[in-house]
Amino acid sequence: MSGLKAFYRELRRRKVLRACLWYLLAAWLVLQLAWVLLPILGMDREQGLQLLSVLAVVGFPLAFVLAWLYDLTPGGVERTPPFQERRVLSNIPPLNDRRQAGAAGQSEPVSRFTWVLSAETGPLAGLSFGIDRSVVMGRSLESDIAVVSPQVSRQHARLDLQDGGLFIEDLNSSNGTVINGRRLRSRTQLQHADEVRFHDIVFRVVHHPPPSAERGVAEMISDPTVLPAGEREEKS
């Protein structure tokens, strides 16, 4: 089932479904025009429609393959990159890839980052990202963390660092951002182990405090006055 879902997401990403719908619509219009024009041109309507129908059926697989491989953009026809090639220069490289058992290479040591965002579900499941600057998350491939899913807006949410803390803000996304089960209404400070959810896509916040700050963080975690996510939202 997960394989079918991944295949469907890839069809959506490559715009194959939309291209096939346009192909079927164009074929239907051609048949309608042929129904009217063939007799006027002195051609046999039945034979002409049969020939056009066969050509439409034979051409459908070709249209599917071309839609899978290429995309029509304002700059012309371009090859659609495979999912694993979608990353652009502005994307944050993942720290690790738990999807590959025994993956040897890591872009950078996790300990270098105070804050890490780990994807638990969705297209990035198994990847962790170090946060050391302002980060925009969204469906757009130009996002710092590109989450390619139809449930995610092009620019969905922003992560910011301020005074050592990690804050999140929803960027007027269609499906919203949920923190620990509560819908995000305003800019909110995140804590270790917080769950960040975009529809059905889940990320987990991991905090690696500097050695000198570990004791203070431990005291803060054990402090019953630490507020839940819903009460950490900044007052406008």
DSSP 24-56: HHHHHHHHHHHHHHHHHTT--HHHHHHHHHHHH
Contact 159, 131 (CB under 8 A): yes
Amino acid 170: pLDDT? 97
Token digits of residue 101: 């058992």
pLDDT profile of the chain (236 residues), mean per 10: 71 84 95 93 92 94 90 66 55 71 48 89 91 93 89 94 96 96 96 96 91 54 55 60
Q: Helix count (H) and strand count (E) of the chain? A: 4, 14
Is 0.85 surpassed by the pTM of this model? no
Q: Give first-to-last CA distance, the chain, whole Å.
A: 44
The domains of the chain, with CATH numbers, are: 2-69 (no CATH), 86-96+109-211 (2.60.200.20)
